[in-house]
Amino acid sequence: MLRRAMASSRLGDTGTRSAVERTLAVLDVLTEHGRPMRSLAIARACAIPRSTIYRLLAVMESRGYLAYDPATRGWSVGPRLAGLGAASPTLAQTLRILEAFDSATPRLSVADLAVRADLDAARVGRTVETLLGEGLLSMDDAGRVSLGLRIVSLAARAEPVQHLLTTARPYLELLRDRTGETANLLVRDGSTALYLDQAESPRALRVSGWTGRRIPLAGTAAGAALTGDSGVHVVSEAVEPGVIAVACAIRPTGSVPAAISVTAPTARLQGSLLTQAAAAVREVAGAIERALAPEGGHDHKPQPTGPGSAVRPWSPAHRSPPGPTQHDAADHHQAPCNLQRHDPLAKQRHREEHAQKRLQVAEDRRA
């Protein structure tokens, strides 16, 4: 009798261990998978008999550890498990996942997200589920996730940045058309510079897709402009091999330290073209400053380029008059380079010079 009772006890212990192992296997599979799974797929992944999986899933759902979606007929981690401290995503983890996306890879699998964010795959899967529920991420039919529309809504609430974006955009397009190269708008974010907007060059070989990218402040043209004096800064091979950048700060911009730059293949932007680009960057930065001034500025909005427009787009035959020397281009306060007669910036400068001449004549007469 005693031997039979001991055997029965051992069988009970074995059954309990088997049920626990199966429960943990189901949870592991669902958190690593990152999206709802059907019953048979879970059974295959966990090596659980079909006769057992349905009962196990139902019990786990009743306890709140799993959730069932009738629309997809899939199972996912339930609210009770998501509410446990170890399963709840921290703010730091959430930010690392959101920042893993960029313009080159707007959609990522959960596994790729884990690699990019340098986080455990199971933890990333749980965080993704939470972010999907909050609308901060969206998922396509292939299970790849991307930034959700709620991110756009939150970004639009950053009023100073939005004002900067709206004001600077037409000037970026003007700078692109004046130089034939990609024009950029950057803001300082801690120890990095963030590419906020970009007007891409029409040329086949160009710098593109950098919106949303971060670069270090140290050793870069944009970083020098955001942290140094108000001159024009030229740095090559800093961010990527074969790329040169010409940057100048925009002041004042309220509470948002900002700069504009031109980025191009190093071999193409040399000599007089580099001098002209530096002068154009400096002048457009000044125009944006005046447009952002508290009194509203007095610059006319840059006119669109294209057929029939006042500002001609860049072309190989279109060259600006010679600007200052490359050495002098570092001086932000020197006279700006000449622009075309119909350039809106040139019109503004002409009015200012004319007013100064009239004032000088009046003073001479009084003398």
CA distances from 122 to 82, 118, 148 (A): 12, 12, 21
Minimal CA–CA distance to 314: which of 184, 176, 198, 193?
Answer: 176
- Would the CATH topology of 91-154 be identical to that of 159-351? no
142 near 111, Cβ under 8 Å? no
- Residue identified by tokens 């009023």 is 159
* Arch. (CATH architecture) of 159-351: 2-Layer Sandwich (3.30)
348 near 291, Cβ under 8 Å? no
Alpha carbon distance 188, 254 (integer Å): 13
Longest CA–CA separation in the chain, Å: 128
> 260 CB contacts (<8 Å, ≥6 apart)?
168, 171, 172, 175, 183, 184, 185, 186, 247, 248, 250, 281, 284, 285, 288
Taking 50 as the threshold, does the pLDDT of residue 247 lie above it? yes
Is domain 91-154 annotated with CATH 1.10.10.10? yes
Classify 78 in phi/psi space as left (phi over 0), alpha (psi -120 to 50) or beta.
beta
Question: Does the predicted TM-score (pTM) go above 0.75?
Answer: no
Percentage, residues of the chain above pLDDT 90: 29
26 near 56, Cβ under 8 Å? yes
Taking 90 as the threshold, does the pLDDT of residue 256 lie above it? no
Q: How confident is the model at residue 251 (pLDDT cuts 50, 70, 90)?
A: confident
Per-residue pLDDT of 116-151, as tens digits, reads: 988 888 888 888 988 898 888 989 889 999 988 788
Query: Domain extents for the chain?
Result: 23-88, 91-154, 159-351
Taking 90 as the threshold, does the pLDDT of residue 330 lie above it? no
Per-residue pLDDT of 17-28, as tens digits, reads: 477 888 888 888
Report the Cα 172 to chain-centroid distance in Å. Answer: 17
135 near 150, Cβ under 8 Å? yes
Alpha carbon distance 229, 247 (integer Å): 11
Is domain 23-88 annotated with CATH 1.20.1250.20? no
